[in-house]
Amino acid sequence: MAASMASQAAARGLRTATSKHVLLDKLKGSWLTPRRWLNLQEYQSKKLMQDSGVAVQRFYVANTASDALDAAKRLNANEIVLKAQILAGGRGKGVFDSGLKGGVHLTKDPAVVGDLASKMLGFNLRTKQTSEEGVKVKTVMVAEALDISRETYFAILMDRSYNGPVMVGSPQGGVDIEEVAASNPELIFKEVIDIFEGVRDDQALRMAVNLGFKGALQRQAADQIKRLYDLFLKVDATQVEVNPFGETPEGQVVCFDAKINFDDNAEFRQKDVFAMDDMSESDPIETEAAKWGLKYIGMDGNIACFVNGAGLAMATCDIIDLHGGKPANFLDLGGGVQERQVYEAFKLLSADSKVEAILVNIFGGIVNCAIIANGITKACRELELKVPLVVRLEGTNVHEAKRILTESGLPITAAENLDDAAVKAVAAIKK
């Protein structure tokens, strides 16, 4: 299915690429691990949809081969689809280290499901979106396979340009929505939702018509659209993307695959949803950083970037690259930072064997530079930092911060500006 950012790009007329692609271009091909938000497995998203009355395939979840076989028999379906449950895309064309090819299998014989599951569960599945080692499969979904006579695309997302939710749809589904928007922009339809009114009947029906549903299927599709919006509100989603939003030869409108993004700020009232989060597929450093309120993105260079704010992080990565270096990551402190967070950030960075130098680039707006300086000196002493450290501080209480660093007696290289910091960090790893 399309990437989760695709529908947001579609809603804006696809004038810009996704943030991941932009940063990849800026770093001239350096691999970037996306920031980790709550990301549910396919079966979990389907369960949320099912609970909201959205039409999905009948399915069961299994953790053992025998459970998968039992599930296949209970379905009593004409055809069964067995899907490995990992967060990476491209499962259908993936390869298991058991030798099995494909993380998605169709069969009309329930008896073979157990054998297929035995070659999936406990084995690593490698796809175009995983590392070389792949991801260990712990769960499979056993579902009724339904024929799709026609595929459409539908999404509901929060869009800042409209200050609220927007429906985005296209009669061409099952493909990358960005490609549709680029080649046939007239096939992208939008409906702005009034947050107080919700999705009106006429809006839902108009979208169903624009998606190409005919006759009685129009009302059925409109009903599913309204149910999807109910789900959107119920779980505090920022996006519900269904691709394909299809129809079957029997005259059913079904959500065959879905991606749900959630508002992290709503975690306090979505405890059950966030409890589903499986961190086992996340980068361990990213997971540890999140415990301390830090945002970590890993790359393949050797200069660690310790910053506050995504914009400053991208600028820091750019200028390191400009001077011939390669960023190993960026680690974003955010706003209300405390000394302990600075210490934990250094602990994470110094444990990364790729890191040969650390560049600290902080602009103190709401951040107090003296807090940063105290955290830096504490970390350097207690962790016995072995790699060169370049620090550029600017903004709130910067003079006090520079005094702290200077009087610490630690081997910290001060930089006057961002360009100076990048030059010194690159030079440090070349010594």
On the question of pLDDT at 47 being above 50, the answer is yes
User: How confident is residue 293, by pLDDT bands cut at 50, 70 and 90?
Assistant: confident
Is 365 part of any known ligand binding site? yes
Q: Bigger pLDDT: 63 or 131?
A: 63
CATH number for the domain formed by residue range(s) 150-275: 3.30.470.20
pLDDT of residue 421: 95
On the question of pLDDT at 206 being above 80, the answer is yes
The single-letter DSSP state of residue 198 is B
Exactly one of 42, 178, 191, 241 is catalytic; which is it?
Answer: 241
User: How confident is residue 208, by pLDDT bands cut at 50, 70 and 90?
Assistant: very high
Q: Which residues pair with 223 in a beta bridge?
A: none
On the question of pLDDT at 254 being above 60, the answer is yes
CB atoms within 10 A of CB 105: 21
pLDDT of residue 339: 87
pLDDT in tens, 76-110: 999 999 999 998 878 989 999 999 999 999 999 99
On the question of pLDDT at 32 being above 70, the answer is no
Does the annotation mark 296 as catalytic? no
For the chain, the domains span 58-144, 150-275, 284-428
Q: 102-106, 115-119, 298-302, 424-428 — which is least confidently predicted?
A: 298-302
Contact 210, 191 (CB under 8 A): no
Exactly one of 42, 43, 153, 191 is catalytic; which is it?
Answer: 153
Q: Is the peptide bond before 110 cis (omega within 30 degrees of 0)?
A: no
Mean pLDDT of 315-334: 90
On the question of pLDDT at 283 being above 70, the answer is no
pLDDT of residue 24: 36
Mean pLDDT rounded to a whole number for the chain:
87
Contact 189, 159 (CB under 8 A): no
Contacts of 169 (CB under 8 A, 6+ apart): 152, 153, 154, 155, 188, 189, 190, 191, 207, 210, 211, 245
CATH number for the domain formed by residue range(s) 58-144: 3.30.1490.20
User: How confident is residue 248, by pLDDT bands cut at 50, 70 and 90?
Assistant: very high
Inter-CA distances, 43 with 39, 59, 344, 389, Å? 12, 8, 35, 46
Is 114 part of any known ligand binding site? no
- Name the CATH superfamily for 284-428: Succinyl-CoA synthetase domains (3.40.50.261)
First to last CA, the chain: 47
Beta strands (DSSP E) in 299-415 are 303-307, 327-332, 357-364, 389-395, 412-414
Is the full-model pTM beyond 0.85? no
Q: Which two tokens stand for residue 67?
A: 């459970």
Residue 58 identity (one-letter amino acid)? R
Which residue carries 């820091």 as its tokens?
Answer: 316
Mean pLDDT of 191-208: 97
Q: Which residues pair with 271 in a beta bridge?
A: none
Q: Which residues pair with 186 in a beta bridge?
A: none
The sign one gets for the Cα dihedral 255, 261, 265, 268 is positive
Is 366 part of any known ligand binding site? yes
pLDDT in tens, 261-282: 899 889 899 999 988 876 666 6
On the question of pLDDT at 225 being above 60, the answer is yes
pLDDT of residue 56: 96
pLDDT of residue 257: 85
Does the annotation mark 250 as catalytic? no
pLDDT of residue 279: 62
Is 302 part of any known ligand binding site? no
Is 321 part of any known ligand binding site? no
pLDDT in tens, 327-378: 998 888 876 678 888 899 898 888 888 999 999 999 988 889 999 999 999 9
pLDDT of residue 336: 66
Is 146 part of any known ligand binding site? yes
* Angle (CA) 287 316 279, round 5°: 10
**Short-list 83, 181, 216, 199, CA closest to 137:** 83
* Angle (CA) 422 426 427, round 5°: 115
Q: Bigger pLDDT: 290 or 61?
A: 61
pLDDT of residue 281: 60
